[in-house]
Structure 1
Amino acid sequence: MRALVLIAALLAGLPPAASAQEVKSVFVGADPDIEAAEGRWWIYPTGGDGLSAWSSPDKVKWTKSDPLIRLKDIAWADNDRAPRHYLWAPDMVQAAGGWYFYYSVGPQNPTPSRLGVAVCKGPAGPCTDSGKPLVTGGKGFEAIDPAVFIDPKSKTPYLYAGGSAGATLRVWALKPDMVNIDREVPVETPPNFTEGAFVHYRKGIYYLSWSAGRWNDSSYQVHYAVALSPIGPWRYGGALLVGDRKYRGPGHHSFFEDPKDGQWYIVYHRWEGQIGDGPYSGDRRVAIQKIAYRDDGAILPIKMK
């Protein structure tokens, strides 16, 4: 019933309530995924030649690990071809009694962008690539930004990916082994979709969120939609996190719930110390802040100060 009320409210165009708080970024990085395990918090940002974990006992002080996996350890990445390849936008998932690490290998040319998956010994690795790409881009689709969500009702693991040049969202059901595709699931690409899809579930509502705009200028922001299933149909909820005069281009995020007290958070990256609308250069920073929901389940807009 709560989910139906929220969907009805979004369809009716009801104005959302406002929320504001001071937030401090925690380290240089981009495209953060976050997990809780072993009494610590783990953030997995975009890498380059390797992907590392940052961990913290309190979400304030963070320590960087050795690389969980390196580009040179991925045999199918065509590392000897120009331009050089990079590891982007990872997603760590605990499932099926193990840990599984998903990542993008790009850029798109001269070979298609691809998604890979590694099996890990724990949240800090080490991780071993499965030996083959999980999804390969092409025909206008760019295989980037993997995010895996396990439906709490059906227990089906879904892989969400795609964006940027193709600006297309695609979804696959994974096999129980978490390293092979079972089937592709038809979905609609939501409005203003650029990249960085993420799904979370709360009190009967499935939330799909994504980044809109261009990654290196002031148009970058987070939008969301809601549904009664992990594959839609979705009802658009509008912009959730947008830049301001101090912090610009926030996006490529993930949501998480603190298992200790049930508080929900968003972790995302943003540009700091930039002037104008961009394009910007330099380092982005990872920020974490609390989020809140209206009584009908809508997420309150996130205002940065």
Structure 2
Amino acid sequence: MPFRSAFALALALTVAAAPAPVAHNPVFAGADPDIVALCGRWYVYPTDSGDAAGGYAATRIYAYASPDLRHWTRSAPVLTMQAIPWVNDDHAPSHGLWAPSLTAAHGRYYLYYSIGPQNPTPSRIGVAVADRPEGPFTDSGRPLLTGGQGFEAIDPMVFIDPKSGTPYLYAGGSAGATLRIFALKPDMTEIAREIPVKTPPFFTEGAFVHERNGLYYLSYSHGHWNGPDYSVHYATAPTPVGPWTYRGRILAGDARHQGPGHHAFAMNPKTGQWVIAYHRWQRGPGPGPYQGTRQVAIDRIRYDSTGAILPVVMTDGAPPASPLPPARCGAEARR
């Protein structure tokens, strides 16, 4: 074999055998990330990085997968606007597909998402279903929840109570800054009833619920999505629907990163370590409004002896190494 050909072959084999580069915070472009540990892998579902117009330009959702939080691959689109039949109306060009959230139940995977903005038509929340976390997802064929009368139907999150098995939908924010909670039917695609709840202090949008040692944590974003006041606060309760006791702020801008928020928590079932995925702007302090592309970062969550969440330290290095144990796809329930 000529030397040049042999060298080219050796180089190609070396490149093919090289491990994927280790991701550093921010791990990839995007906003509003949800993170779950399923099927022996971490999955992150963000609003697509084509979000220069505030997220409304996004027309597809991708899944990012990793065995250890440090090496990531992106799927083909798991859902697109064109695949949601009830969105194809006269206002479709002004709509966006954003704020996805994944929940596992009954051996299937349910992707909840926002269609907005609020005007010229009310914002809406939809749900699509798949047999695997990486999709493809098939839309249910109708909106799950429609906004109106001072309520913006955005930022869905579904939490299945480990005690009762009841799935709860948490939604709302921005216009009206109102939190609403609904119990879902067992099929996960229809609302059974609304649960009256008082909106906690500093709530703007992006509600998320997790449970730890019998205590329920409701965390959420406060402030303007493209401003320096964007931050994450939380409250706790003895049940997944309250009553909520406000506990304080856990994530805010620093000298290098601004506007952190719209987050999700997930736990490694092998180690018990919790992490937070969130978006932020890579810039120093300033008045905003910030422009460009938001970035997804992943950092460690720590609790004190009373169960309080300690303030999150935003990092620029590699996310905490957290390999997941093998798991059979379809066998897990979220959180």
- Structure 1 counterpart of 2:279: 269
Output aligned runs, 1:249-268, within 5 Å.
249-268=259-278
What whole-Å deviation, never above 9, does each CA across 1:170-198 have from its counterpart, x for those lacking one? 00000000001000000110111110000
Please say if residues 43 and 55 of structure 1, whose CA atoms lie closer than 8 Å, have aligned partners that are also in contact.
yes
Q: Secondary structure at the match of 1:76?
A: helix
Q: Count residues in correspondence.
A: 283
Q: Secondary structure at the match of 1:25?
A: coil
- Structure 2 counterpart of 1:132: 142
Please say if residues 137 and 143 of structure 1, whose CA atoms lie closer than 8 Å, have aligned partners that are also in contact.
yes
- Structure 2 counterpart of 1:7: none
Please say if residues 119 and 127 of structure 1, whose CA atoms lie closer than 8 Å, have aligned partners that are also in contact.
yes
Please say if residues 107 and 131 of structure 2, whose CA atoms lie closer than 8 Å, have aligned partners that are also in contact.
no
Output aligned runs, 1:18-57, within 5 Å.
24-47=25-48, 48-57=58-67
- Structure 2 counterpart of 1:293: 303
Please say if residues 72 and 79 of structure 1, whose CA atoms lie closer than 8 Å, have aligned partners that are also in contact.
no
- Structure 1 counterpart of 2:201: 191
Write the letter of the residue equivalent to 1:34: I
* Superposition TM-score, scaled by structure 2 size: 0.82
- Structure 1 counterpart of 2:215: 205
RMSD (Å), alpha carbons: 1.2
Pick the aligned partner of 1:214 from 224, 230, 233.
224
Please say if residues 31 and 279 of structure 2, whose CA atoms lie closer than 8 Å, have aligned partners that are also in contact.
yes
Change (3 A) 1:258 1:247: same
Q: Secondary structure at the match of 2:27?
A: strand
- Greater strand content: 1
Pick the aligned partner of 1:85 from 95, 115, 138.
95
Report deviation, 1:39: 2.0
- Structure 2 counterpart of 1:5: none
Distance 1:237 1:74 in 2: 39
Write the letter of the residue equivalent to 1:191: P
Distance 2:76 2:132 in 1: 13
Change (3 A) 1:101 1:291: same
- Structure 2 counterpart of 1:162: 172
Q: Secondary structure at the match of 1:303?
A: coil
Determine what percentage of the aligned residue pairs are the same residue. Answer: 61
Structure 1 position 116 matched with structure 2 position 116: no
* Superposition TM-score, scaled by structure 1 size: 0.90
Report deviation, 1:83: 5.0
What whole-Å deviation, never above 9, does each CA across 1:262-284 have from its counterpart, x for those lacking one? 10111101100345121100111
Between Structure 1 and Structure 2, whose CA radius of gyration is higher? Answer: 2
Q: Secondary structure at the match of 1:32?
A: strand
